[in-house]
Structure 1
Amino acid sequence: MTTNHANAVARPRLKELARHLGLSEATVSRVLNGAAKEHRISKETQERVKKAAAQFNYTANTLARGLRSRQSRTIGIMVPEISEGYSTAVLGGVEDVLLNSGYFYFVVSHRHRAELLREYPSLLLARAVEGMIAVDSALEEDLPIPVVAVAGHHRRPSVVNIELDHLLAARYALEHLQRLGHKKIAFIKGQRSSSDTLVRWRAITKVAAETGIEINEHLVAQLESDVPGSEPGKAATVRLLERGEPFTAIFAFNDLTAIGAISVLREMGVRVPEHVSVVGFDDIPGAATNMPPLTTVRQPMQEMGRVAATTLLRMIQGGRQEWPKSPIRILPAFVERQSTAPAVASKPKA
C-alpha cells in the first residue's frame, strides 16, 4: 500500500527562507520576531520577508527561540478583573507601550482569589515571560524576573512600585468638600482585598486630622464584595442610610462606588447634589456622562500603565543597573463636575 504525499506541503526552515530571499538568517529572524525597527531593517526588506513567509506558510517559533535565548519578548500581566474601571484603564496604557515595542503579553485575572494569586506567577514563568506587571495584585514571593507593581505597595527589592500620591488625592477631595461647608461627611472604604484601601484610608484620616474634619465611625462603610460594577457601592450606601446618622456628603472609594451611591440616594428620594454631594475616585469614562456628572479625583490610570510598561522594558533591556528607585510617584488631579454643591442642613432618609 502506498501513501500519496502530493498535497503535503513542508514548511521551510529559517535557513531555506533566508536562502530564497538572498538575506542572512539573522535579518529574516529579526523581521519575523518583531525586532526589525531596533536593527534598522528597511521597510522594503521587511515587506519582502513577510510576503515570502506568508507565501511559504512559515511561522517563527518565538517560544522556542525565547527558551534558548531567554528573550521571548513576552510579558505577563496580572489584574483583579477585566471590566470597566481601574484595571482596564491601566491595562490600556500598558498595551500602548508593549504593542509599540513589539512585545507580546499574557493577561490573567484573579478576582483576588488566594489560590490564583499563588499559581499565576508560576504559570506565567512557565510561558517564558521576561517580566511581569501586577495591577492591584498581592505577590507573595520574589520572582526571578523584573516585576513592576501598579497600586501593589510591595516593599521588596525585586519589585518597582508605581503609586499614586494618595495624600494629595485625599487633600483635593476633603478640602473641596470643606470649602462647600460640608462637616458631616460619610466615607465608603475599598474592599479589604484591594491594595489601595489601607493606604488611601490612612491618607484620608491624616488629611482629615490636619484640616479639622471629624470622621464619625457611624458614617464609615466598607465595600464587602469583589463583584465588579456599582453593586458593592449600592450595598454600602444602604448600610449608611440604615444607620440613621445624618450626612451631607459621601467620599467614595472609586467612581463605580460613587455611581452606585447616587443610584441608591435617588431611589430613596435624596437628590444629588441638592441634599447630598458625592465625590468619586479614578475618573473612569462613565464619570463624565453619569447623571449628574461626577466630581472625582482623577487618577491618571493610563499614564500609570504606560509608566509601568516603559519601566519594565527598561529593566529587562538594561539589567539591574536600570532599575529605578521605588516607588515612582504619580500625581492625581481634581475634576469638579455637578455631583457636589454647598452643604444644606438636610438628613438623608432611608
Structure 2
Amino acid sequence: MPRKSTPQPHDALKSDGSKPPGLKEIARYLGLSPASVSMVINDVPLAKAMTAETRARILEAVKKFNYRPNLLARSLSKRETRTIGVIVPESSDGYYTRVMRGLEEALLDAGYLYFTVSHLSREDLLREYPLLLRQRAVDGLIYMNTKVAEPPGIPAVTISYATKEPGVTSVVVDQRLGARLSLEHLAKLGHKRVLMMKGQPSCLESGERWRLMLKAAQECGIEVRPELSLEMNHDQLTPELAYTKVAELMRSRIRFTAVCAFNDTSAIGAMRALADAGLHCPDDVSVVGFDDIGVAGFYTPRLTTVRQPLEAMGARAVTELIARIREPEAKHPAKVVMAPELMVRESTAPVKRSAKD
C-alpha cells in the first residue's frame, strides 16, 4: 500500500489573502487540538509539557500563515485586554523618564501594552482621564505622582503618592530616610547656613518632604531660617524656576554655605544661578539634590543626591497592579515603601573655615 503523504500547507489551507486561517484551521492542518495550538501561541506554562518538535511545528505554521490572534474575541472571553492606563502630570521631566523606563520593561515582560496621558495638573483632566481609560477597557490604572480624584473602579496602583483609597496599592519612597540622608550629610560637612527648598504645589510629595526636611534639619542641628526657606511656588518642572528664585536671593546678599534642593532639577537650576553669581560649587556653596535623574551624575560638578529607586518603583508598581488584576480576591498591600540611597559626588564639600558661623 502506498504511504500516505503528510498534508502540505497548500493542501489544507489557502493563503490567497481572501480570509486568513483561524486557530481551528491551523489546528486541523497540524493534526492537533485548538487548545494545544492556543497554549503555544499564548506561551502558557502548560505548553512546556509538549515536545520541542511539536512547539516548533506550531510556531512554524503560525509564521507561515501569518496568524494573528483575535484580541477582541480574547478580551471578551477572558474579560481582559492586556492594556494598562498610565496617568502622569507631564512626561518631559527626568523623574518621569526614569520611572517610565522601569514601568515599560516590566509591562513588556508581562505582555501588556499601555496608554499614557498627561493631565498637566488640570482638575478636569484628573477626573476625566481615568474614566476615558476605563471606557477603552484597560485592565488597570497606574497613577504616577497623581492624586486619585475618584474611586478607580478597576485595579490601580499609585507611584510617589500615598493614597488612602481602598483597593489601591501605593508604591512610595521612604521620605523620612531621604530627608535625613541629605541633611545629615551636610551637617557632617559642617554646614549650618543651609538654603532649603520646598517643592511646587503640583508635586504631591512636596508638603510631606518639606515637613520631614524641617524635622531632619532640627535633628541634625541645622537651624531653619525664614530667609533661607525658598518655595518653588509655580507649577514649572524645569531648572529655570529654581534658577530664578536662587538668582533673586543672591541679589539680596543673604549668606548660605549649602543648598538642600527639593529635587535634582531644582538643584541644577540652583547651581547655574550660583555660577552666574561668580560662586563655585562646592568650594563656595555645596548643593545636594533628590531623585538621581539621568543627568545628575554627568552634570558639572557631578551632583550629590538622594537616589530614589525610580526604575525599580516603576517595575514594582507593575508587579503590584498585575497581582491585583489576576487575583482580585487576594489580600494586597496598601503601601510598598522603598528605601532611598545617598549618592555622594562632587557637588558637596566641607564648609570653609571662613564661612562658618
Aligned partner letter, 2:336: I
- The structure 1 residue matched to 2:241, chosen from 229, 232, 254, is 232
Question: Paired residue for 1:163?
Answer: 172
Conserved in 1, the CA contact under 8 Å of 2:98 and 2:294? no
* SS state at 1:288 partner: coil
- The structure 2 residue matched to 1:300, chosen from 284, 309, 317, is 309
Question: Paired residue for 1:118?
Answer: 127
Distance of 1:307 and 1:8 partners within structure 2:
44
Aligned partner letter, 1:158: G
Conserved in 2, the CA contact under 8 Å of 1:164 and 1:299? yes
Conserved in 2, the CA contact under 8 Å of 1:186 and 1:247? yes
Provide the TM-score with structure 2 as the length reference: 0.87
Question: Paired residue for 2:11?
Answer: none
Q: For structure 1, which segment, 110-119 or 173-182, has the greater mean C-alpha deviation from structure 2 after superposition?
A: 110-119
- The structure 1 residue matched to 2:201, chosen from 184, 187, 192, is 192
Distance of 1:95 and 1:36 partners within structure 2:
22
Question: CA shift at 1:160, angstroms?
Answer: 0.8
Question: CA shift at 1:228, angstroms?
Answer: 4.1
Q: For structure 1, which segment, 237-246 or 96-105, has the greater mean C-alpha deviation from structure 2 after superposition?
A: 237-246
Larger radius of gyration: 2
Distance of 1:48 and 1:242 partners within structure 2:
75
CA root-mean-square deviation: 2.3
Aligned partner letter, 1:150: I
Question: CA shift at 1:81, angstroms?
Answer: 2.5
Aligned partner letter, 1:340: T
* SS state at 2:330 partner: helix
* SS state at 2:248 partner: helix
Q: 1:338 to 1:67 in 2, by over 3 A?
A: same
Aligned partner letter, 2:326: Q
How many equivalent pairs are there?
Answer: 340
Q: Is 1:138 matched up with 2:147? A: yes
Q: 1:44 to 1:156 in 2, by over 3 A?
A: farther
Q: C-alpha offsets along residues 98-140 of structure 1, whole Å, 9 cap, x if unaligned?
A: 2112222222222222222212111221222212211101110
Q: 1:252 to 1:120 in 2, by over 3 A?
A: same
Aligned partner letter, 2:216: V
Q: Is 1:36 matched up with 2:44? A: yes
Q: Is 1:108 matched up with 2:108? A: no
Conserved in 1, the CA contact under 8 Å of 2:307 and 2:342? yes
Q: Which runs of 5+ in 2 are unaligned?
A: 1-14
Conserved in 1, the CA contact under 8 Å of 2:90 and 2:118? yes
Provide the TM-score with structure 1 as the length reference: 0.89
Conserved in 1, the CA contact under 8 Å of 2:201 and 2:235? no
Q: For structure 1, which segment, 283-292 or 98-107, has the greater mean C-alpha deviation from structure 2 after superposition?
A: 98-107
Distance of 1:242 and 1:227 partners within structure 2:
22
Distance of 1:226 and 1:29 partners within structure 2:
50
Conserved in 2, the CA contact under 8 Å of 1:63 and 1:128? no
Q: Is 1:267 matched up with 2:276? A: yes
Question: Paired residue for 2:188?
Answer: 179
Question: CA shift at 1:141, angstroms?
Answer: 0.8
